Amino acid sequence: MSYQVLARKWRPRKFAELVGQEHVVRALTNALDTGRMHHAYLFTGTRGVGKTTIARIFAKSLNCERGQSADPCGECAVCTAVDEGRFVDLLEIDAASNTGVDDVREVIENAQYAPSRGRFKVYLVDEVHMLSKNAFNALLKTLEEPPPHVKFLLATTDPQKLPVTVLSRCLKFNLKRLLPEQISGQMRHILGAENIAYEDSAIGELARAADGSLRDGLSLLDQAIAYGGGALHADDVRTMLGSVARGQVLGVLDALASGDGERLLTECTQIASYSPDFGGVLDDIASVLHRLQLIQLIPGYRPDEDGDDDNALATLAERMTPEDVQLYYQIATSGRRDLALAPDARTGFEMALLRMLAFRPGDGAPSARADRPAAGSPVPAPPSPRQAAAATARPAVATERRHDPAPPVRAEPASSPAIAAAPVARDASGLPNWESLIERAGLRGPFGLLAQNAVLRERDGQTLVLALQPAHMSLAVEPMVSQMEERIGQALGERIRLRFVNHSQSDAAAETPAARAAQVRDSAQAAAEQSIADDPVVQSMKREFGARVVPQSVKPFDNESGAV
Residue 160 confidence (pLDDT) above 50:
yes
Q: What is the mean pLDDT of residues 133-141?
A: 83
Out of 277-281, 286-290, 303-307, least confident range? 303-307
pLDDT value of position 418: 37
Given 491, 510, 529, the domain boundary residue is 510
pLDDT value of position 502: 85
Quick: pLDDT tens for 196-207: 999 988 998 899
Of residues 372 and 14, which shows the higher confidence score? 14
Q: What is the mean pLDDT of residues 289-296?
A: 91
* Residue 388 included in any domain: no
Say if residue 10 is in the same domain as residue 158.
yes
Residue in 211, 351, 198, 216 with CA at minimum distance from that of residue 280: 211
Q: What is the mean pLDDT of residues 397-416?
A: 39
Out of 292-301, 382-391, 541-550, least confident range? 382-391
Instruction: Name the CA dihedral angle for 451, 455, 459, 462, rounded to a multiple of 10 degrees.
Output: -10
pLDDT value of position 98: 65
Q: How far apart are CA 444 and CA 421, in angstroms?
A: 19
Q: What's CA 491's distance to the chain center, in Å?
A: 38
Out of 84-88, 252-256, 458-462, 476-480, least confident range? 476-480
* Residue 435 included in any domain: yes
pLDDT value of position 422: 54
Q: How far apart are CA 13 and CA 322, in angstroms?
A: 47
Determine how many CB atoms are found less than 10 A away from the CB of residue 450.
24
pLDDT value of position 242: 74
Q: Please report how the helices 246-258 and 310-319 are oriented relative to each other, as an axis angle in degrees rounded to 10.
A: 20
CATH number at residue 47: 3.40.50.300
What is the number of residues in the chain? 564
Range of the domain at 343: 246-358
Q: What is the percent of the chain where pLDDT is above 90?
A: 27
Say if residue 492 is in the same domain as residue 524.
no
* Residue 386 included in any domain: no
Out of 11-15, 263-267, 270-274, 364-368, least confident range? 364-368
Quick: pLDDT tens for 518-556: 888 888 888 888 888 888 888 888 888 888 888 767 888
CATH number at residue 498: 3.30.300.150
**Residue type at position 379:** V
Please report which confidence band the pLDDT of residue 374 belongs to, taking 50, 70 and 90 as the band edges: very low
* Alpha carbon separation from 85 to 59, 63, 81, 557 (Å, rounded): 11, 14, 6, 74
Say if residue 47 is in the same domain as residue 93.
yes
* DSSP code for 160: G
Please report which confidence band the pLDDT of residue 379 belongs to, taking 50, 70 and 90 as the band edges: very low
Quick: pLDDT tens for 10-31: 999 999 888 888 999 999 999 9
Residue 38 confidence (pLDDT) above 70:
yes
Say if residue 129 is in the same domain as residue 13.
yes
Q: What is the mean pLDDT of residues 302-311?
A: 62
Query: What domain count does the chain have?
Result: 5
Residue 413 confidence (pLDDT) above 50:
no
CATH number at residue 198: 1.10.8.60
CA within 13 Å, CB half, 125: 26
Given 141, 174, 207, the domain boundary residue is 174
Asked if residue 536 has a cis previous peptide bond (ω within 30° of 0), the answer is: no
Residue 304 confidence (pLDDT) above 60:
no
Mean pLDDT, the chain, whole residue set:
81
Given 492, 510, 528, the domain boundary residue is 510
Say if residue 27 is in the same domain as residue 140.
yes
* Residue 81 included in any domain: yes
Of residues 138 and 77, which shows the higher confidence score? 77
Determine how many CB atoms are found less than 10 A away from the CB of residue 473.
15
Say if residue 324 is in the same domain as residue 265.
yes
Please report which confidence band the pLDDT of residue 560 belongs to, taking 50, 70 and 90 as the band edges: very low
Say if residue 29 is in the same domain as residue 84.
yes
Say if residue 186 is in the same domain as residue 140.
no
pLDDT value of position 401: 37
* Residue 82 included in any domain: yes
Say if residue 81 is in the same domain as residue 34.
yes
pLDDT value of position 44: 92
Say if residue 262 is in the same domain as residue 354.
yes
* Residue 374 included in any domain: no
Please report which confidence band the pLDDT of residue 564 belongs to, taking 50, 70 and 90 as the band edges: low
Say if residue 163 is in the same domain as residue 22.
yes
pLDDT value of position 368: 35
pLDDT value of position 424: 67
CATH number at residue 310: 1.20.272.10
* Residue 389 included in any domain: no
pLDDT value of position 239: 82
Please report which confidence band the pLDDT of residue 335 belongs to, taking 50, 70 and 90 as the band edges: very high
Q: What is the mean pLDDT of residues 206-218?
A: 89
Say if residue 484 is in the same domain as residue 504.
yes
* Residue 313 included in any domain: yes
Please report which confidence band the pLDDT of residue 475 belongs to, taking 50, 70 and 90 as the band edges: confident
